[in-house]
């Protein structure tokens, strides 16, 4: 609620391979990423990410709530200790979509500024 802690960007990269040639010499990235042939969020990717997030905040003694839409991969996960899901009402994600609020433009500016 206070926005004092922000999560690192989580990206899903299109690829058949876990580590592609363009990332061969890169040891670490400033983002968390997973690989999927279609760049879609899957149930497995979502469960892994939320479980890791739950463990992180359990160690910090924080309780968190994730506001998520009703995407088929976003189902409640059993066994979480400090994470609660708040499902958004249907047809509201178009109104609240962060990409329409400048996220994509900000990322494009960062990537082009760091490309040279």
pTM, whole model, 2 decimals?
Answer: 0.70
Query: Is 105's pLDDT higher than 50?
Result: yes
State the Cα–Cα distance between residues 16 and 84, nearest whole angstrom.
Answer: 33
The domain limits of the chain are: 10-114
What are φ and ψ of residue 91, in 5° steps? Answer: 65, 20
Burial class (CB in 10 A: 0-12, 13-18, 19+), 91: exposed
Per-residue confidence (pLDDT) for residue 21, from 0 to 100: 66
39-87: pLDDT as tens digits: 788 899 999 999 999 999 999 999 998 888 878 888 888 899 999 998 8
* 8 A C-beta contact, residue 35 and residue 59: no
């Amino acid at each position: 609620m206070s926005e004092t802690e922000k999560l690192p960007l989580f990206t899903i990269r299109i690829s058949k391979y876990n580590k592609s040639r363009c990332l061969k010499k890169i040891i670490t990235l400033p983002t968390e990423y997973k690989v999927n042939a279609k760049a879609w969020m899957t149930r497995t990717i979502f469960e892994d990410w939320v479980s890791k997030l739950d463990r992180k905040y359990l160690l910090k003694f924080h309780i968190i709530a994730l506001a998520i839409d009703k995407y088929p991969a976003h189902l409640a996960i059993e066994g979480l200790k400090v994470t609660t899901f708040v499902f958004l009402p249907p047809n509201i994600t178009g109104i609240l979509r962060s990409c329409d609020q400048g996220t994509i433009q900000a990322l494009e500016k960062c990537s082009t500024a760091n490309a040279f």
